[in-house]
Chains A and B, each alone.
Chain A
Amino acid sequence: MPVRSLLSRVVLAALGACLVLFIVGPLLRLLFFASPESLGAALRDTELRDSIVLTVFTASLATFIAALFGVPLAYLLARRNFPGRRLVQGLIELPVVVPHPVAGIALLLFLGRRSEVGGALAHVGLEFVSHVPGIVAAMLFVSAPILVSGAREAFRGVDPQLERVARTLGDTGWGAFRRVTLPLAGRGVLAGSILAWSRSVSEFGSIVILTYNPKVASIYIFDRFTAYGLQAAVPAAVILLLVALTVLVVVRVLQPEERR
């Protein structure tokens, strides 16, 4: 192998390795920082358990709502060419670029009791600020774009001609979607949903403004850290990290490695 080519490979590999180490290093440090005893104690802590249960529940609810409204939208964005499609696509991705505390403040203004929408919803018993629905709303806001774009790409990966074939074989539009497109895009849609779910689990910036109490896991960790210091925050942080790693593995397994 020519020396120059070898040298360039070494440089490229070294640059990549630095970044990988920078990501893996802190996480490994965190994992081994907590003693098994402290982890056990943390798991017996009802406040932490409650916050994890709350986090899983609210993230699941937010993902369900995002899927209910987002999967049809993703299908439209992938398949139909309607006026304003690009605009809708841009709008749905807006939460990705909005800083999360900004999103929290915007949601607070929109859903607070003093706004028309928040007031009307409070009137029918749906309170957001400092209530569980506030957590779900914040999670939905930040995670819906992830679900929509994941599902959109999954639908784009299915040849639209397959639906046409199904139609000429006597299937209705809905039947073709249900029997052909959905089974073929299913894994991708599921992967997008899981990514959206884990995005919800990790959300902090907007929830902290909308609903500090009851505490989701990320806020619980922040609370422990500010009130009792590093040692108190670590076990909870490790548990949340393990949850995230599990999700990542599941997504990797679901996503097809090569797509032809």
Chain B
Amino acid sequence: MIRLENLHVRVGTFDLRDITLEVPKGGYALIIGPTGSGKTTLLEAVAGHARLKAGRVFMHDDEVTHLPPERRGLGFVYQQYHLFPHLNVRDNIGYGLGPGRGPRDAADPEARIAELADMLAIAPLLDRPIRGLSGGEQQRVALARALAPRPSILLLDEPFAAVDPATRQVLRRELRELHEREGITTLQVTHDFDEALRLGDLVAVLAEGRIAQSGTPEEVFRYPNSAFVARFVGTGNVIAGVVERTEPGNGAGSFRGTFRGGSLVLEVVAEREGPIHAVIRPEDIVLSLSHNPGSARNHMDGRVVRLERIGPVTLVHLDVGRPLIASLTTQSVEEMDLKAGKPVMVAFKATAILLV
């Protein structure tokens, strides 16, 4: 278990603030955020490499805020691997098993090295020097080295950023399997929300040194709490505008209203008035060729601008007076014979509009 309470770290003029996060025992959490949002700094703070201005760090109910990195019992895998260039693969993996490397179980280092090398399919590389290993091989060695002392916590800093997409897929799957087999509480940093959807039980979106939102990847993706999160995780169409109440009444609870964003006027179910962002997920947008609005409250004329086929799904880029993206199955795109320039009827429900 990792628990962070109100962490505040300053690096130069950058502040990482009010970081409160709990990763349950055996959980897999991802910190996502754009470059410069403080992701790596956060990991360094957990590892004990960064000096805290305030806040506390707990691991398995023990406070470790003031412990040096070597006494926190964690493994750290860096984006650039940082293998020891003067040691071969075997000695890199075995580094944390040597004498004087903390109070760890290193009864049979050779057996542990062999076990990990088998698990990560790097046994034939054990006697090779680091120079000459491919990116994927280096990443496996770095992972084996971090896991060798059986840490109860694993920190990963963009571990797949520097490998090719095919290797990334394989490594992701292996990492998830390893995580389940060894039961390690894992905290990973990434700028790729797709990775969070595939790997994490928990995700925290970092923006300018603060946690903008945290929850399950599904929650964050479906119900982003801000335009920033919606844009960053790629929830869909994010439109700035203003909400006005259209039904009488006041006070708490949701009400019917009108959202105006540029030329777009939508009927919405809102909870507050004033400036706001409307988020519409591409899969909630219905396209039809006839003027048959059905039960959807919002419908408008549009024109297909461009089709973007992603396997069985096709993103339809529309012009409804402003750009809008709809997501359809490729099959229905073919059935409707959609192509650039074709006029279509665009519809979605008032309840499909998320106001943040």
Q: Is the CB of B95 within 8 A of A166?
A: yes
Judge if B149 is at the interface, Cβ distance under 8 Å. Answer: yes
Which of the candidate stretches A156-164, A203-211, A223-231 sits at the interface with the other chain? A156-164
Question: Which listed residue (B74, B78, B100) contacts A175, Cβ 8 A?
Answer: B100
Chain A contact residues, majority secondary structure: helix
Q: Is the beta-carbon distance between A184 and B86 smaller than 8 angstroms? A: yes
CA distance A172 to B155 in the complex (A): 19
Chain B CB within 10 Å, residue with most, of A165, A167, A175, A183: A165
Interface assignment of B339: CB less than 8 Å from any CB of chain A: no
B68 at the interface (CB under 8 A from A): yes
Contact indicator B101/A183 (Cβ below 8 Å): no
Q: A166 contacts which chain B residues (CB < 8 A)?
A: 84, 95
Asked if A164 and B84 make an inter-chain contact with CB atoms under 8 angstroms apart, the answer reads no
Q: Determine whether A171 belongs to the interface, using a CB cutoff of 8 Å to chain B.
A: yes
Q: Is the pair B78, A170 in contact by a Cβ cutoff of 8 Å?
A: no
A246 an interface residue at 8 Å Cβ cutoff? no
A169 B82 Cβ-Cβ under 8 A: no
User: Whole-angstrom distance from the CB of A161 to the nearest CB of chain B?
Assistant: 5
Query: Given the complex, which residues of A lie within 8 Å of B95, measured CB to CB?
Result: 166, 169, 171, 179
Given the interface pairs A159-B82, A175-B100, A180-B84, the reply to whether A167 lies near B149 with Cβ below 8 Å is no
Closest residue to A168 on the B side, CB-wise?
Answer: B76
Contact A170–B86 (Cβ < 8 Å): no
Contacts A161-B78, A164-B49, A165-B78 given; does A171 touch B70 at CB 8 Å: yes
Asked whether any CB of chain A lies closer than 8 Å to the CB of B321, the reply is: no
B132 at the interface (CB under 8 A from A): no
Q: B residues within 8 A CB of A172?
A: 68, 70, 100
Q: How far is the CB of A97 from chain B (nearest CB, A)?
A: 33
**Chain B residue contacts of A161, Cβ below 8 A:** 78, 80, 82
Interface size on B, residues (CB 8 A): 29
**Once the chains are docked, how many angstroms separate the CA of A29 from the CA of B104?**
66
- Does residue B159 face the partner (Cβ distance < 8 Å to A)? no
Tally A-B pairs: CB < 8 A.
67
Q: Tell me, in angstroms, the Cα distance from A169 to B102 when the chains sit together.
A: 8
B85 interfacial contact with A, CB 8 Å = yes
B196 to chain A, nearest CB (A): 23
Residues of B near A164 (CB, < 8 A) are: 44, 47, 49, 69, 76, 82
Q: Is the CB–CB distance between A169 and B96 below 8 Å?
A: yes
B47/A170 in contact, CB under 8 A: no
Determine the distance from Cα of A180 to Cα of B100 in the docked complex, in whole angstroms. 14
Contact status A167-B82, CB under 8 Å? no
The CA-CA distance from A166 to B75 in the complex, in Å, is: 10
B303 within 8 A of A: no
Residues of B contacting A165 with CB < 8 Å? 76, 78, 82, 84, 145
CB distance from B105 to the nearest CB of A (A): 11
Tell me if A167 and B49 are in contact (CB < 8 A): yes
Q: Is the CB of B84 within 8 A of A162?
A: yes
Judge whether B85 and A167 touch: CB under 8 Å: no
CB–CB B68/A169 < 8 A: no
CB of A113, distance to nearest CB on chain B (Å): 49
Contact among A162, A170, A184 with B96 in the assembled complex (CB-CB below 8 Å): A170
Name the CB-closest residue of B to A178: B100
Closest Cβ of chain B to A170, distance in Å, is: 3
Q: CB < 8 Å: which of A159, A169, A180, A184 contacts B101?
A: A169
Which chain A residues lie closer than 8 Å to B47 at the CB level?
A: 164, 168
Chain B residue at minimum C-beta to C-beta distance from A158: B85
Closest to A164 in B: B49
In this complex, which of A161, A170, A171, A184 has the most chain B Cβ atoms within 10 angstroms of its Cβ?
A170
Q: What mask results when residues 58 to 97 of chain B are scored 1 for a CB within 8 Å of chain A, else 0?
A: 0000000000111010111010101011100000000110
Which chain A residues lie closer than 8 Å to B72 at the CB level?
168
Partner of B70, one of A167, A180, A184: A167
Select from chain A the residue with minimum beta-carbon distance to B76: A168
Contacts of A179 in B (CB 8 A): 95, 98
Minimum Cβ distance to chain A for residue B317 (Å)? 43
Given contacts A161-B78, A175-B100, A175-B101, contact A167 B86 (CB under 8 A): no
- Measured between beta carbons, the chain A residues less than 8 angstroms from B145 are 165, 169
Chain B residues closer than 8 Å to A167, beta-carbon distance: 48-49, 68-70
Report the nearest B residue to A167, measured CB to CB: B69
In the complex, A168→B96 CA distance in Å?
Answer: 8
- A positions within 8 Å CB-CB of B: 159, 161-162, 164-173, 175, 179-180, 183-184
Inter-chain pairs besides A162-B84, A165-B84, A170-B102, 14 sampled, C-beta below 8 Å? A159-B82, A161-B80, A164-B69, A165-B76, A165-B145, A167-B70, A168-B47, A168-B69, A169-B148, A169-B149, A171-B95, A171-B100, A179-B95, A184-B86
23 contacts between A and B (CB under 8 A): A161-B80, A161-B82, A164-B44, A164-B49, A164-B82, A165-B82, A166-B84, A167-B49, A167-B68, A169-B75, A169-B101, A169-B146, A169-B148, A170-B70, A170-B102, A171-B100, A171-B102, A172-B100, A175-B101, A180-B84, A180-B86, A183-B86, A184-B86
4 closest Cβ contacts across the A-B interface?
Answer: A170-B102, A169-B96, A170-B101, A167-B69
